[in-house]
């Protein structure tokens, strides 16, 4: 009986206590100076964040880097710059929010540039077509995010367009935490879901109408694909075009402000 009791104690220590203790130790360590330099270089607005948000972000980044596995793909050589940049952008979505650090996510696969993913489509007649599609990012429900580093890095061209593939794909991760990637992330109650649904449905339809009428929009037209892509695209706009989104889509901005609990206009 004694050996059985000892085995149970060791199991409890290994499964519950030791991982938590290791995480506490990781979070207690000083944030590396070179990590801070990477954030200043590759995260626009980081230097303007108030101190308490910078501290939050650093803590989230340390946990992200500790818990997630980065995988080199297609000859990419993994560096601190790649890991910290991706972790920093992903964790920007978690500031001021009482949530885990993407608890369902386990691996981030990073390619040096655009990667090719197989696609299968079935038309109305049941004919199946197999194609290959070039992508800069993809979020999977099995605990993986795939990114092209040349798009995830600080890129003046995508910055000018208000796009960020890391924010986009990690918005999908937040969306999928409810069990369905449908454009409605986890909200606090039924009333919040009702308000969210009303605003999102109206704004989604308006985006589709604007595209059909060839009217320029603050929101990337790709958001008209479906509600899940709409949420990912407006997340990009919320963080990268915050003033324009607030001016032209105040109700939409208010919903995202309530969900993300930050106002990026303060550090734009």
The domain spans of the chain are 31-177, 178-268
* β partners of residue 218: none
Residue 101's pLDDT is 94
What CATH number has the domain spanning 178-268? Answer: 3.40.390.10
Residue 13's pLDDT is 45
- How far apart are alpha carbons 235 and 245 in whole angstroms? 10
Two structure tokens written together for 131: 């194609």
CATH architecture of the domain formed by 31-177: Orthogonal Bundle (1.10)
Query: Whole-prediction pTM value?
Result: 0.87
Among candidates 198, 183, 193, which has minimal Cα distance to 230? 183
Q: How far is CA 236 from CA 3, 111, 161, in A?
A: 55, 21, 10
DSSP class per residue in 139-165: E-TTSEEEEEHHHHS--HHHHHTT--H
Among candidates 138, 140, 185, which has minimal Cα distance to 165? 138
239 neighbors 92 (Cβ within 8 angstroms): yes
- How far apart are alpha carbons 126 and 177 in whole angstroms? 32
pLDDT tens digits in sequence order for the chain, 268 residues long: 555 554 454 454 454 456 677 768 767 788 999 999 999 999 988 999 999 999 999 999 999 999 999 999 999 999 999 999 999 999 999 999 988 899 999 999 999 998 766 555 555 555 545 455 567 889 998 899 999 999 998 777 777 788 899 999 999 999 999 888 999 999 999 999 999 999 999 999 999 999 999 999 999 999 999 999 999 999 999 999 999 999 999 999 999 999 999 999 999 7
Q: How far is CA 165 from CA 2, 40, 128, 153, 240, in A?
A: 55, 18, 29, 9, 11
């Amino acid at each position: 009986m004694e050996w059985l009791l000892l085995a149970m104690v060791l199991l409890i220590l290994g499964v519950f206590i030791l991982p938590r203790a290791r995480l506490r130790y990781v979070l207690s360590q000083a944030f590396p100076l070179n990590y801070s330099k990477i954030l200043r270089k590759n995260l626009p607005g980081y230097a303007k964040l108030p101190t308490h948000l910078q501290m939050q972000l650093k803590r989230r980044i340390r946990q992200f880097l500790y818990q997630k596995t980065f995988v080199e793909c297609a000859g990419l050589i993994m560096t601190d710059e790649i890991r910290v940049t991706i972790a920093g952008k992903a964790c920007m979505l978690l500031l001021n929010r009482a949530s885990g650090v993407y608890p369902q996510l386990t691996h981030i696969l990073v390619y040096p540039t655009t990667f090719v993913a197989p696609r299968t489509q079935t038309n109305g007649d049941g004919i199946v077509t197999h194609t290959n599609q070039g992508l800069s990012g993809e979020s999977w429900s099995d605990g993986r995010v795939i990114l092209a580093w040349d798009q995830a890095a600080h890129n003046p061209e995508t910055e000018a367009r208000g796009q960020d593939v890391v924010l986009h794909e990690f918005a999908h991760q937040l969306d999928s935490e409810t069990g369905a990637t449908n454009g409605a992330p986890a909200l606090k109650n039924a009333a919040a879901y009702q308000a969210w649904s009303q605003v999102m449905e109206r704004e989604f339809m308006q985006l589709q109408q604007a595209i059909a009428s060839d009217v320029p929009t603050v929101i990337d037209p790709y958001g008209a694909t479906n509600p899940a892509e709409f949420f990912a695209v407006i997340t990009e706009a919320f963080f990268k075009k915050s003033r324009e989104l607030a001016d032209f889509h105040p109700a939409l901005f208010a919903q995202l402000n309530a969900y993300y609990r930050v106002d990026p206009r303060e550090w734009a």
